[in-house]
């Protein structure tokens, strides 16, 4: 089968050689879950799945982050599922909440937020009227990498309540990332809801030109798909056509982006001066609040600005499910997969489009 157990895997080998003792050689990495106390059941089931398919062999630590104090119930029920060290930490107020200026004063126009959110929520856009969802997106866009609980680590693997992994993962993805000089690993790509990001791409494009950032292949592959037949394009871009203006250069973003509830990535990318400056430029427009910019789009556009194709990695061999979508490896790829490719299929054209600009 295609399921190759590498020599440095702690899983049993076919040829009877002793499994590798991973305890001595874990990478400088952690699993990361942001959750609410009310996510306890979904969080426990996600960690159970992670353990069954990966961590029972590797015992990586799990860092749990919450804007509120953790409940005893969450710590106990979720903590007991993990086979490695667990850390339950709270997010400091300055990383979660309305942005403040140099004097510590909030400057976002809350009336303007209310109007914008009312408009979007009447249009049926999910989560816009939930303040905390905006804070969450902003936290994951610009602050998570600096949370004290993540300070010791170079790599993280993001996990969310209610996700599951549907194939065995018999190797260490962090080691794979390090040895292959990978920065950002993804699973699923989807089209963003255009009305949540009307001015995001214009803001990013302006940043790109004012900082003279050269165009990468991933950037190019994120532009509106001029190769698509016109009716399809119209359907794909209808959000964008209505709400999301083209840039002065005439470029438009196809809205395709990596779905960030799955990420295996290098924290140092998000800690780099370039990324910080990019985030500050976005944050200064309050687009996280006047619109509903998501961390998935923000991370993806940063990757498109700053990363070379070879720094991206598609975990094609991992089965991954975040309802209502999943990635299920095709025949011959992945280990002991238990998923059905027909369920929760994502539009393949989006991923195919992005993959023209990533690891060849």
Query: Do 264 and 185 touch, CB atoms closer than 8 A?
Result: yes
Using the rule CB under 6 A, is 31 a contact of ligand GDP? Answer: no
Q: Which residue out of 27, 192, 263, 291 is catalytically annotated?
A: 263
Quick one: what does residue 302 bind among ligand GDP, Mn ion, none, with the CB cut-off 5 to 8 Å set by partner type? none
Q: Which helix (H) or strand (E) holds 203?
A: helix 200-210
Give the span between the Cα atoms of 128 and 131, in whole angstroms. Answer: 7
Token duo for residue 215: 């165009």
Give min distance, CB of 36 to ligand GDP, in A: 4
Q: What minimum distance in Å lies between the beta carbon of 108 and ligand GDP?
A: 18
Find the binding residues for ligand GDP in span 38-77 (CB under 6 A). Answer: 39, 66-67
Per-residue binding string, ligand GDP, 313-332, x by CB under 6 A, is: --------------------
- Smaller CB separation from ligand GDP, 57 or 293: 293
Cβ 63 vs Cβ 87: under 8 Å: yes
Pick from 9, 224, 254, 261: which binds Mn ion (CB under 5 A)? 261
Is 343 part of the annotated catalytic residue set? no
| Alpha carbon separation from 94 to 41, 108, 187, 339 (Å, rounded) | 28, 15, 31, 41
User: Which has the closest alpha carbon to 48: 172, 212, 164?
Assistant: 164
d(CA 301, CA 189): 13
Q: How many residues bind ligand GDP (CB under 6 A)?
A: 12
Over the window 144 to 173, marking each residue x when it contacts Mn ion by CB under 5 A and - when it does not, the resulting string is: ----------------x-------------
Residue 292 DSSP label: -
* Interaction of residue 149 with ligand GDP, rule CB under 6 A: no
Task: Report the number of secondary-structure helices (H) and strands (E) in the chain.
Answer: 14, 12
Q: d(Cα 101, Cα 293) in Å, to the nearest integer? A: 20
Phi, psi of 316, deg, nearest 5: -65, -30
- Output the smallest distance, CB 210 to ligand GDP, in A: 30
First to last CA, the chain: 24
Q: Which does 34 bind (CB under 5 to 8 A by kind): Mn ion, ligand GDP, none?
A: ligand GDP
Interface with Mn ion includes 359 (CB under 5 A)? no
Answer yes or no whether residue 272 interacts with ligand GDP by CB under 6 A: no
CA 161 to chain centre: 14
Q: Does residue 36 interact with ligand GDP by CB under 6 A? A: yes
* DSSP tag of 186: E
Residue ranges that bind Mn ion, judged by CB under 5 A = 160, 261
Q: Which residues are catalytic?
A: 263
Residue ranges that bind ligand GDP, judged by CB under 6 A = 34-36, 39, 66-67, 132-133, 136, 160-161, 261
């Amino acid at each position: 089968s295609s399921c190759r157990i590498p020599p440095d895997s702690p899983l049993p080998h076919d040829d009877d050689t002793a499994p590798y003792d991973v305890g001595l050689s874990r990478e400088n990495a952690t699993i990361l879950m942001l959750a609410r106390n009310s996510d306890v059941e979904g969080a426990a089931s996600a960690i159970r799945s992670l353990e069954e398919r990966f961590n029972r062999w590797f015992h990586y630590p799990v860092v749990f982050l919450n804007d509120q104090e953790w409940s005893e119930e969450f710590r106990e029920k979720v903590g007991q599922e993990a086979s490695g060290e667990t850390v339950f930490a709270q997010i400091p107020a300055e990383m979660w909440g309305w942005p403040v200026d140099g004097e510590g004063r909030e400057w976002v126009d809350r009336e303007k937020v209310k109007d914008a959110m009312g408009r979007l929520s009447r249009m049926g856009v999910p989560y816009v009227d939930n303040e905390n969802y905006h804070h969450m997106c902003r936290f994951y866009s610009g602050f998570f990498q600096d949370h004290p609980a993540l300070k010791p680590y170079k790599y993280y693997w993001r996990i969310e309540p209610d996700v599951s992994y549907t194939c065995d993962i018999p190797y260490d993805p962090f080691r794979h990332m390090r040895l292959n000089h990978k920065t950002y690993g993804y699973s699923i790509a989807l089209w963003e809801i255009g009305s949540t990001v009307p001015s995001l791409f214009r803001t990013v494009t302006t940043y790109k030109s004012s900082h003279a950032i050269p165009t990468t292949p991933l950037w190019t592959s994120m532009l509106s798909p001029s190769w698509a037949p016109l009716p399809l394009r119209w359907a794909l871009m209808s959000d964008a056509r209505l709400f999301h203006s083209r840039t002065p250069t005439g470029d438009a973003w196809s809205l395709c982006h990596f779905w960030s509830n799955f990420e295996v990535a290098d924290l140092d990318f998000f800690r780099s001066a370039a990324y910080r400056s990019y985030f500050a430029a976005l944050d200064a427009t309050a687009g996280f609040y006047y619109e509903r910019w998501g961390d998935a789009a923000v991370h993806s556009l940063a990757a498109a600005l700053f990363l070379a194709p070879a720094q991206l990695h598609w975990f094609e061999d991992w089965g991954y499910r975040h309802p209502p979508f999943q990635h299920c490896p095709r025949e011959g790829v992945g280990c002991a997969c238990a998923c059905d490719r027909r369920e929760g299929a994502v539009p393949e054209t989006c991923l195919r489009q992005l993959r023209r600009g990533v690891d060849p």
